[in-house]
Amino acid sequence: MAAAITEREKLIYREKPLLRDGNVLYFGDFNENFIVRFTILESEKVNDLDMAKKVVIELLEKCGDSIDSAKLTKKAERTSMWAALDIGIYWLEDMLEMEKEFLKNS
């Protein structure tokens, strides 16, 4: 991932960081075991703005400190960033809740 990001540069969405590195966005707390990666494969110009047209969503289970060694848990593709965010956030919240319940019952 790119150089260290200061607190001021972070975008917080639904109480979790949303970080961008080129055409790749990461959603989630890097201190937790799961994170979502959004990769924008195609975009189109709409009124001088680049709008995502094809986005791959991946739910990753972190294995150590580096996101590069993360294990793919779920994967899907959507035709807009908003649709991708919807499914990615749902997956992440669901997985973190299941992990919390598992740890509570262990």
| pLDDT per position as a tens digit, 37-96 | 999 999 898 888 888 899 999 999 988 777 778 899 999 999 999 999 999 999 999 999
Number of domains observed in the structure of the chain: 1
Domain range for 23 is 11-105
Is 4 among the domain residues?
no
Classify residue 86: in a domain, yes or no: yes
The band of 9, judged by pLDDT with boundaries at 50, 70 and 90, is: low
The answer to whether residue 6 sits within a structural domain is no
Does residue 22 lie in a domain region? Answer: yes
pLDDT at 98: 92
Residue 31 lies in a domain: yes
Q: Does residue 5 fall inside a structural domain?
A: no
Has this prediction a pTM greater than 0.85? no
Q: Please enumerate, as own/partner, the contacts of 60-68 that have beta carbons within 8 Å and a separation of 24 or more.
A: 60/34, 60/35, 60/36, 61/33, 61/34, 62/30, 62/32, 62/33, 62/34, 62/35, 67/1, 67/26, 67/30, 67/35, 67/37
